[in-house]
Amino acid sequence: MIATEKPTRILNAAVIVAALGYFVDIYDLLLFGIVRTDSLIDLGITGDAIRNQGEYLISMQMFGMLFGGILWGILGDKKGRISVLFGSIIMYSVANIANGMVTTVDGYAFWRLIAGIGLAGELGAGITLVTESLPKEKRGYGTMIVASVGVSGAVAAYLVYQVFQDWRLCYYAGGILGLLLLFLRIKISESKMFQEVHKSNEKKGDFLSLFSNKTRFYKYVQCILIGVPLWFLVGVLITFSPEFAKALGVQGYETIAAGKAIAWCYGGLVFGDIASGLISQWLKSRKIVMTIFLLLNLIMVFIFLNAFSVTTTVFYALCFLMGFSVGYWVLFVTIAAEQFGTNIRATVTTTVPNFVRGSLPVILLVYSFFRDRFFNGNIILAAMVVGTLLSIIALVALFKLKETFDTDLDYSE
């Protein structure tokens, strides 16, 4: 065991910086979805090209996040959690400002790629630092604060856009907020756990070691699978909420806006993350709470997909409740952090959420397959089937993982 002295105060500098960094991270990640259409129109794109170019841009961002997840994860274990935390903040802040200056779609795509790389590092580094900086009986509270503050960045992105009504100003605001966080760098230090491992001759940040050991590989894949249902809900049901509203015959469906649905969903996510964090602490279990929320998520998917002819108010309320039902995002990242040793913890904690985000193209492919091959274009039935399959897979993967609430993290792989 590595002897460590951990601060007993939950709201320490590491928690504050990780929470604020994640706030700006989510702000930028969701801002693109909110301003996508208006920004492309402003760049001269019209008609069906808006959808095609939008898919191109989101693909560039996701590619950046997949690459960045591996890059930042390895660096987090080799160079330090704080270096990655602030390095990622600098990168996505600069990319945000550059996004506000683009004049072509190709330029937009390049800076979404850079933003994606930057966005990939903040959450994993922040959660790793927080879990290592707090005693095991309190680290759940710390990650809960990071999540509840962070996901509210999506709501902030929507509100900022409603105020400014200018997509370029929204990007500038995100970039400036990120750069302001750099002033907090002097207030935090690496966990003693990492400092001790960093001094040793142990191999650190070995990404390939996750694939060279059968047990470790299965555990890694299971950590990814338990988070996929959340991204199906956000990436399909919420992102394409106008299409689902039309298919459900929602009253006034033509007024349903994806940006507003995202804001309502992430508003629910804030409360869901607080609830899952508190319940996890009270029950002293990660797995029980994850099971509850995965089942709640499946129930809400079916309720949403059977909400025929409801009003727009009820529709947005369902978006909020669906957001609450997937309020286990940071809990699932915490589980991943607690499953592995200090020498590869940042690698795991950074890559896992980005692989979940990066699973969206595969989810869309499976969803499209069921929609077009089995249900003749019926998006409601296709979503029900895919949502159910992903939930069952996640529950089986969760069952195979060990309970980590009381796990002491002072060890190496």
323 part of a folded domain: yes
- Residue 73 tokens, joined: 């994860």
- The pLDDT of residue 397 is 96
Average pLDDT, the chain: 87
pLDDT tens-digit map of 352-379: 998 998 888 888 889 989 988 888 889 9
Q: Is residue 222 in a domain? A: yes
Q: For residue range 222-233, what is the model confidence (pLDDT) as tens digits?
A: 999 999 999 899
Are 343 and 2 spatial neighbours (Cβ–Cβ below 8 Å)? no
Each residue of 167-191: pLDDT tens digit? 999 999 999 988 888 776 656 777 7
How many structural domains does the chain have? 1
Examine residue 108 and state whether it is found in any structural domain, yes or no. Answer: yes
The answer to whether position 379 is within a domain reads: yes
Which H or E run includes 32?
Answer: helix 13-42
Residue 4 lies in a domain: no
Q: What is the average pLDDT across 92-102? A: 93
Q: Which pLDDT does position 2 carry in this prediction?
A: 41
Exposed / middle / buried, residue 59 (Cβ in 10 Å: 0-12, 13-18, 19+): middle
List helix spans (H) across 305-344.
Answer: 312-325, 329-339
Whole-number Cα distances in Å, 110 to 56, 63, 105, 231, 278: 11, 11, 9, 24, 40
Closest CA relative to residue 152, chosen from 140, 144, 142, 141: 144
Which residue range is the domain that position 62 belongs to?
13-400
pLDDT digits (tens, 9 = 90+) for 2-61: 444 444 577 777 888 888 888 988 898 888 878 888 899 999 988 878 877 887 888 888
Cα–Cα nearest to 230, from 326, 357, 354, 361? 326
Spatial contact of 267 and 290, defined as CB atoms under 8 Å apart: no
Residue 137 falls within a domain, yes or no?
A: yes
Q: What's the CATH number where 294 sits?
A: 1.20.1250.20
Q: Is residue 2 part of a domain?
A: no
Q: Are 122 and 88 in contact (CB under 8 A)?
A: yes
Is 5 inside any structural domain?
no
